[in-house]
A = this chain, B = another copy of it.
């Protein structure tokens, strides 16, 4: 087969790390036994990738925007829009979106519990009671997420997104009044403050909370928006690249981004997003999806968890999960699609958070210019033929190989 018109982008979330003394100055990925990833490196082309730019610490959202070819500097204002899209809300360009908590306040509007006793039941009914208000001519759409989490969309004309949080981010202090950084955002702030006031009025007497009170549980008697962001006008994936794409990921935020780009979002039973996730279930879903789509993005969350927990052993196990996932893909997809393996950012154990260190990348498929790298790791891949590239390069590299990219010029 001369070439393949399809590609799989496999992302080990937070996979990159730094040398760790206890691992003999290897990184968890370098120390882990990853025969499939190593064979992809050996048979393919390797390099280093800066998801956004050298040294820049990416979020999961900004990194995935960049990897999919959308400039986060021009499109990203906050997490709200992708959170809202991730729970299935119909987010439209220009919507001002917020993450929200159901919280507990006392009569004085002092926050007693930011998570309303980590409420897990009845939030759908509570959200439904808040959804669809109209305030000052703006529509307020509200939907529950998992546990105490929810999202708010404020939709209307002339609304800004430079709006401060109503959630004070600590307990024992009063609910904040939202404030706008400019005239348009002040208009949004007025809507948000009235929404918060009404949410307290409505939720305080809601049957779900009456039952919680009877059960000795803290009432979810207010909704507190934070993290304002305006939904960007993003060209859908298919319009931009001329092929359809699917997204098989475990994280709501990335699902939200994919929905936003009108990619098919496929939920996989057994994909928990935890260290117990069923990586082969993810792999089977990818194999199934690449039959119907030219492009499939798959993200395995587990490596990121080991980094956040400063647990190199856990991170090595997660690398092995990624290895099995990649091995299954290679075995079942073969030359039918290019396979690119990389990460959305580093989450070094020593940092316990995302860092700006570059991540390894390898690509295999028909016609790829192989190099001398024989192991998939941060430092082996630094010797590869791809050199040091950026997230914004990925889709160009893939669509070039897939032969679906239009020529620039004549």
Q: Is A88 in contact with chain B by the CB < 8 A criterion?
A: no
- Interface-forming stretch among A148-156, A161-169, A328-336, A377-385? A377-385
The smallest beta-carbon distance between A343 and chain B, in angstroms, is 14
Q: Is A356 in contact with chain B by the CB < 8 A criterion?
A: yes
A57 to B404 Cα, complex, angstroms: 10
Q: Smallest CB-CB separation from A382: which chain B residue? A: B385
Of B351, B369, B370, which is within 8 A of A357 by CB? Answer: B369
The smallest beta-carbon distance between A147 and chain B, in angstroms, is 17
Within A1-27, the residues touching B (CB, 8 Å) are: 2-3, 18-19, 25, 27
The smallest beta-carbon distance between A295 and chain B, in angstroms, is 14
Q: Is A76 in contact with chain B by the CB < 8 A criterion?
A: yes
Q: Chain A binding site: helix, strand, loop or mixed by DSSP? A: loop
A400 — which chain B residues lie within 8 A by C-beta?
55-57, 355-357
Q: Is A53 in contact with chain B by the CB < 8 A criterion?
A: yes
**Contact in complex: B393, A59 (CB < 8 Å):** no
Of B353, B396, B410, which is within 8 A of A356 by CB? Answer: B396
A78 — which chain B residues lie within 8 A by C-beta?
410
**Contact in complex: B356, A405 (CB < 8 Å):** yes
Q: Is A72 in contact with chain B by the CB < 8 A criterion?
A: yes
Of B27, B52, B371, B408, which is within 8 A of A59 by CB? Answer: B408
A407 — which chain B residues lie within 8 A by C-beta?
57-59, 353-354
**Contact in complex: B396, A55 (CB < 8 Å):** yes
Of the candidates A57, A63, A368, A386, the one having the most CB atoms from chain B within 10 angstroms of its own CB is A57
Q: Smallest CB-CB separation from A367: which chain B residue? A: B18
- Chain multiplicity (copies): 2
A187 — which chain B residues lie within 8 A by C-beta?
none
Q: Is A79 in contact with chain B by the CB < 8 A criterion?
A: yes
**Contact in complex: B387, A382 (CB < 8 Å):** yes
**Contact in complex: B408, A52 (CB < 8 Å):** yes
Q: Smallest CB-CB separation from A54: which chain B residue? A: B393
A371 — which chain B residues lie within 8 A by C-beta?
379, 382
Interface string of A359-370 (1 = CB under 8 A from B): 000000011111
Q: Smallest CB-CB separation from A406: which chain B residue? A: B57
Q: Is A61 in contact with chain B by the CB < 8 A criterion?
A: yes
**Contact in complex: B367, A408 (CB < 8 Å):** no
**Contact in complex: B385, A57 (CB < 8 Å):** no
Q: Is A389 in contact with chain B by the CB < 8 A criterion?
A: yes
A405 — which chain B residues lie within 8 A by C-beta?
55-57, 356
The answer to whether residues A369 and B54 also contact, given A59-B408, A356-B400, A409-B60 and a CB cut-off of 8 A, is no
A367 to B23 Cα, complex, angstroms: 12
The answer to whether residues A3 and B409 also contact, given A55-B398, A355-B400 and a CB cut-off of 8 A, is no
A18 to B403 Cα, complex, angstroms: 13
Of the candidates A58, A62, A395, A410, the one having the most CB atoms from chain B within 10 angstroms of its own CB is A410
Of B72, B356, B367, which is within 8 A of A409 by CB? Answer: B72
Of B18, B368, B409, which is within 8 A of A76 by CB? Answer: B409
Q: Smallest CB-CB separation from A354: which chain B residue? A: B407
Q: Which 10 A-B pairs have the closest CB atoms?
A: A59-B409, A55-B396, A62-B409, A356-B400, A55-B397, A387-B388, A18-B367, A54-B393, A79-B410, A382-B385
Can you offer 17 A-B residue contacts whose CB atoms are under 8 A? A3-B351, A18-B367, A18-B368, A48-B387, A54-B396, A54-B397, A55-B393, A58-B409, A59-B410, A253-B410, A348-B367, A353-B407, A355-B400, A356-B396, A369-B382, A370-B379, A388-B388
Q: A27-B369, A54-B396, A387-B387 are in contact. List 12 more A-B contacts (CB 8 A).
A: A3-B350, A3-B351, A53-B396, A54-B393, A55-B396, A55-B399, A59-B409, A60-B409, A79-B409, A351-B403, A355-B400, A355-B403
Residues on A facing B (Cβ under 8 Å): 2-3, 18-19, 25, 27, 48, 52-63, 72, 76, 78-79, 227, 253, 348, 350-351, 353-357, 366-371, 378-379, 382, 385-390, 393-400, 403, 405-410
